[in-house]
Chains A and B, each alone.
Chain A
């Protein structure tokens, strides 16, 4: 069974903005799914419709086979939502926020208290549990949103840019937690602007632009579309003359840094062989940009050109 099924979903706002133009999307149970798109592409509208915060203009959305439009209550019981913006009462304590949220989902108070303690500890927030939540840092507030979304133990967890503005250390601990949840069977849908995150964590991916899905595939299949990859090479010694390597574009950034764009048809071994022959010693190497980011920018640009 699919965790999420979206059919011909359309949304036109009262001001005439057509945010979704007939979207079809499926997310299989247990998946770690990335929903990417530039700002204003329709991601938040789509998440809003799935979580019943936005009324669809047309089309059907179902969660584990339960229609969001026809059986809202049952469908909502399956979903945990981490919204883009902090939306808890900042004059309440984290513990109370989580216990109350559990209550809205029908979790008895005794169990809700146990779970609140479990998730607050799991997300390293237990020492703040009984302090006013407005005193917490931005990263803590984001983790509290995750704890709140998990307290009724949903089968589908939707995270709308959960790591925006969060430092790298906290971001990593958040992903570790989300990966554990996914490994335990919860389907995860993620929107993020950090494409590196999507590439590292997600198995399947959809790219949405201007209210339409322009790509819906596995991360692996998507990355295989990348025909040229650009690497940055740090050299041990400065070079005076740029080597010419057949079929590869090489640019010298500074005396000890090269940028090499290599077609997928060529192997990295051939690059290193050629560098070796030229007497160039490479000390380190990295991708110039994230591979998914390169594809994403290309696809969205192409879509914008088509629309124009």
Chain B
């Protein structure tokens, strides 16, 4: 008769959420994978190829090369965050999140499934943008381990952040407020288009409170071998954010905030 709750049943549950998420992302590929690639291609053409020639060098390298890691990171951050908010809030809004809530799956499996789905989309978009960037500036890969670990950790951190947003969101407007008013300014001011060393004294100090500065710079180190910040500081900050956000997500899910009465 009924199924036994075990590590294997949890693994099947996790796989199910992940497969469902990946299927959704691939089914609506024209909405999930292509737009960021087009947007980033325009950035490469306008800021890299056209304006970049006049800018000259940044951080000791052609401006086009300099902006590639930041633009990949920008697409990873927005897609990771956007995927989980739209998917989980959509499930909440359509009430089909109840399928998961009445199932034996513990909160951490539900969280892991949705985060993995967001990471899949973020990495897929990141790789596509990297391939497009290669057409403009050639392919650079200074340190594979740093590149992929930073990419992965950043995607996880923003997926967790997006999950919290989706839990608290009551209407669709609520899932666009944080990306518009918080994430976008933080990302644009996070060293995507410029080296933080160019900022005047106090602004440079303020910029160092922005975690995205560390993510972009660590990723730039992975691809190009240059960074404005210490690599280890970057790892500590990203892992710290990840741990705190993971704990908050689990706590919200366990208490059923926004999900159970």
User: What sequence of 0s and 1s flags, for each residue 86-123 of chain B, a beta carbon within 8 Å of any chain A beta carbon?
Assistant: 00000100111011111111100000000000000000
Let me know if B1 is at the binding interface, CB within 8 A.
yes
Q: A87 touches which one: B5, B16, B95 (CB < 8 A)? A: B95
User: What sequence of 0s and 1s flags, for each residue 10-53 of chain B, a beta carbon within 8 Å of any chain A beta carbon?
Assistant: 10110111011000000000000000000000000000000000
Query: Which A residues are in CB contact (< 8 Å) with B13?
Result: 103-106
User: Which of the listed residues B17, B256, B261 has the most CB atoms from chain A within 10 Å of its own CB?
Assistant: B261
Let me know if A212 is at the binding interface, CB within 8 A.
no
Query: Which A residues are in CB contact (< 8 Å) with B105?
Result: 73, 104
Let me know if B54 is at the binding interface, CB within 8 A.
no
Contact, CB under 8 Å: B94 / A54:
no
User: Which of the listed residues B10, B16, B105 has the most CB atoms from chain A within 10 Å of its own CB?
Assistant: B16
Contact, CB under 8 Å: B3 / A100:
no
Contact, CB under 8 Å: B260 / A152:
no
Contact, CB under 8 Å: A73 / B5:
yes
Give CA–CA (A53, B102) in the complex, Å. Answer: 7
Give CA–CA (A87, B6) in the complex, Å. Answer: 26
A189 to chain B, nearest CB (A): 14
Contact, CB under 8 Å: A77 / B261:
no
Let me know if A122 is at the binding interface, CB within 8 A.
no
Contact, CB under 8 Å: B99 / A101:
yes
Contact, CB under 8 Å: A74 / B5:
yes
Let me know if A76 is at the binding interface, CB within 8 A.
yes
Query: Which A residues are in CB contact (< 8 Å) with B102?
Result: 51-53, 76, 79, 81
User: What sequence of 0s and 1s flags, for each residue 171-188 of chain A, a beta carbon within 8 Å of any chain B beta carbon?
Assistant: 000000000000001000
Interface size on B, residues (CB 8 A): 32
Contact, CB under 8 Å: B260 / A52:
yes
Contact, CB under 8 Å: A153 / B1:
yes
A42 to chain B, nearest CB (A): 13
Let me know if A38 is at the binding interface, CB within 8 A.
no
Interface size on A, residues (CB 8 A): 37
A76 to chain B, nearest CB (A): 4
Given contacts A53-B101, A106-B10, contact A77 B5 (CB under 8 A): yes
* B103 and chain A: residue at smallest CB distance: A104
Query: Which B residues are in CB contact (< 8 Å) with A43?
Result: none
* A81 and chain B: residue at smallest CB distance: B102
User: What sequence of 0s and 1s flags, for each residue 67-104 of chain A, a beta carbon within 8 Å of any chain B beta carbon?
Assistant: 00000111011110101010111100000100011011
Give CA–CA (A54, B259) in the complex, Å. Answer: 9
Let me know if A118 is at the binding interface, CB within 8 A.
no
Contact, CB under 8 Å: A100 / B20:
yes
Contact, CB under 8 Å: B91 / A76:
no
Contact, CB under 8 Å: B2 / A78:
yes
Let me know if B173 is at the binding interface, CB within 8 A.
no
Let me know if A30 is at the binding interface, CB within 8 A.
no
B150 to chain A, nearest CB (A): 32
Given contacts A54-B260, A77-B4, A155-B1, contact A100 B99 (CB under 8 A): yes
Query: Which A residues are in CB contact (< 8 Å) with B20?
Result: 96, 100
Give CA–CA (A193, B99) in the complex, Å. Answer: 25
Contact, CB under 8 Å: A55 / B260:
yes
Query: Which A residues are in CB contact (< 8 Å) with B3?
Result: 77, 105-107, 152-153
Let me know if B205 is at the binding interface, CB within 8 A.
no
Q: B2 touches which one: A54, A73, A108, A154 (CB < 8 A)? A: A154
Give CA–CA (A77, B102) in the complex, Å. Answer: 9
Query: Which B residues are in CB contact (< 8 Å) with A100?
Result: 16, 20, 99
Q: B103 touches which one: A54, A88, A105 (CB < 8 A)? A: A105
Let me know if A263 is at the binding interface, CB within 8 A.
no
Contact, CB under 8 Å: B260 / A73:
no
Query: Which A residues are in CB contact (< 8 Å) with B103?
Result: 76, 101, 104-105
Let me know if B9 is at the binding interface, CB within 8 A.
yes
A91 to chain B, nearest CB (A): 8
* B106 and chain A: residue at smallest CB distance: A73
* B101 and chain A: residue at smallest CB distance: A53
Q: B15 touches which one: A51, A89, A103 (CB < 8 A)? A: A103
Contact, CB under 8 Å: A52 / B101:
yes
Give CA–CA (A56, B4) in the complex, Å. Answer: 25
Let me know if A272 is at the binding interface, CB within 8 A.
no
User: Which of the listed residues B20, B96, B99, B102 has the most CB atoms from chain A within 10 Å of its own CB?
Assistant: B102
Q: B104 touches which one: A76, A89, A185 (CB < 8 A)? A: A76
Let me know if A194 is at the binding interface, CB within 8 A.
no
Let me know if A130 is at the binding interface, CB within 8 A.
no
Q: B91 touches which one: A81, A89, A96, A109 (CB < 8 A)? A: A89
In the complex, 27 of the A-B residue pairs with CB atoms within 8 angstroms, ordered by the A residue number, are: A53-B98, A53-B261, A54-B260, A72-B104, A73-B104, A77-B2, A77-B3, A77-B5, A77-B104, A81-B102, A87-B95, A87-B99, A88-B96, A89-B96, A100-B99, A103-B12, A103-B15, A103-B17, A104-B13, A104-B16, A104-B104, A105-B3, A106-B5, A108-B12, A109-B12, A154-B1, A154-B2
Q: List 6 additional A-B contacts (Cβ < 8 Å) besides A106-B4, A106-B9, A108-B12.
A: A52-B101, A73-B105, A88-B96, A101-B99, A103-B15, A155-B2
Spell out B's residues near A (CB within 8 Å).
1-6, 8-10, 12-13, 15-17, 19-20, 91, 94-96, 98-106, 256, 260-261
